Chain A
């Protein structure tokens, strides 16, 4: 099913064939749940937010103009839903001094993250990933796991392309700092 087929399905839903929504649900429910589960710690909340995302998508389907892919539009709804939920819950994440981030060189981070066979590093990295805030988790999940381009991420998170790139570089440096802090502790 490509973008054109999806657009046709959306038109049919808007023309009253509500049952066609199950195609979109079958196609995206696991991706959306998996994305939300990565950025929200509670599985129950992730399931509820996935439901909210699809319900919002259904209610606002007439506003989808096809200027981006349906998945990008759906991811944007999922992200905004998760942001609203987190804002209500007032979750706090550890902050890192910006000057410390500036001191980390890109080359050092690149060298550390280039290898994926070091079990100790991977375990530290998993612990570090858990300490990222929601926006950072969303960015790296979209970039590394969902394999989205910078332009698509920018569209989903309503940022500029340059902003996405800068944030990705800073997240990498933050992870580098976090794994090294964990080493010394």
Chain B
């Protein structure tokens, strides 16, 4: 992935060369690479691509605990041809937290040769947590590559058992697995320095989650 000309940030994780943009509507009318980071962000985010040769990435991590409620809605609207948009949202939900993801990729008839993806993956750690995932597509052009994926599950017992057999405590093992799950988002960024900063951010998140049953 190329370096980003601009980093738009509804919610901030990284700091340098950041240009804040108002939440709600993001209007991309210049070619270039754009990046949006979300962290536990609730609300609606509309991305209108009104220029060709735009590459826009939206990466988000969510961690819910106790009675936290997150409601995210993302619209990827391709109005002009030859652009790319990619959404990747990963969430971990403990306690009685609730998460609702509503995504919509809309490709207008004249936005031929668009590429659009959305992926939402969730881990549920508690029987009281609730996740809703609605990744919608509305495609009016025919020369497009478009796809979405959504998965929701608990931690794999097999992987957990393996880690336990290698001497980790239950809490350590859970934490390692969740870290691995969320860090996919981090590694989407090419710059090493930024990655490290993001990983440190994740570490803080996991500390606050108070994982494990020790």
Asked if A and B are interacting partners, one says no
A interface with B by C-beta (< 8 Å): none
B interface with A by C-beta (< 8 Å): none
